[in-house]
Amino acid sequence: MSLEPFKVLLFDCYGDWETGMLENFTPLLDQPSAPSRDRLFEVLGPIENRIQDEQPTMLYSELLAKVYIETAEKLNLKSDEAQAKAFGNSIPSWPAFADSADALKKLSEAGLKLVILSNVDNKSFDGSKKRLEKGFAFDAIYTAEKIGSYKPSLRNFEYAIENIKKDFGLEKEDILIVANSKYHDVQPGHKKGIKSAWIDRERAFMGVSAYKDVIPDYQFQSMMEFANAVIKDKS
């Protein structure tokens, strides 16, 4: 199935969120009873999803502070408010995947509209953007803060469809979701009739491990592999 028809790429696979979280969970992971990586995310994921559902307008940085405290309690680890606040404020330092910036630049140069649809607040994304916009600029950025809800709410995808049509005159059929999380992106995107390219990030756990029955329309092992496939189909 060709990638040629798509004109807008709706991204949320550029940032290595799990590594960013692990690097800033040090006060918990240095404790003797610290869990394994997968156990940490097994506990954290449902807590984050629940709070996002209960507090859809809470800034992501503030929400993560609550996630930190609740995750520590669930795992019987010691934590405090200062640690939690530092964790929430650490988002701008979370790394991008190594291939993200170059792949995004390549796709932009090929004439595609690059749009972010991310569960993040505006200030936190500004930090990520500095590591990603190398010789190009995103055509639109739709954050949870702008929308007032968190994915997998269909409201976020409706917002993207509506604003892509308003800003670029393009239809739902022109959009391709490019993401790693099947829970946050692929599954709800399909519910709104948007096709998806899944980037199979090695060891990714949250939104992936429990959703093996969610089948994307395309699958790639990296952003650069995806970018090369798009350019090949459009040449």
Give yes or no for a contact between 74 and 47, defined as CB atoms under 8 angstroms apart.
Answer: yes
Q: How many helical (H) and strand (E) elements, i.e. helices and strands, does the chain have?
A: 11, 6
12: annotated active-site residue:
yes
Q: Which residue in 12, 16, 121, 185 is the catalytic one?
A: 12
Give yes or no for a contact between 163 and 142, defined as CB atoms under 8 angstroms apart.
Answer: yes
The dihedral over CA atoms of 39, 43, 49, 52, expressed in degrees to the nearest 10, equals -120
**138 to each of 24, 89, 94, 175, how far by Cα in Å?**
27, 23, 19, 15
- Separation between Cα atoms, residue 219 and residue 16, nearest integer Å: 18
Q: Which residues are catalytic?
A: 12
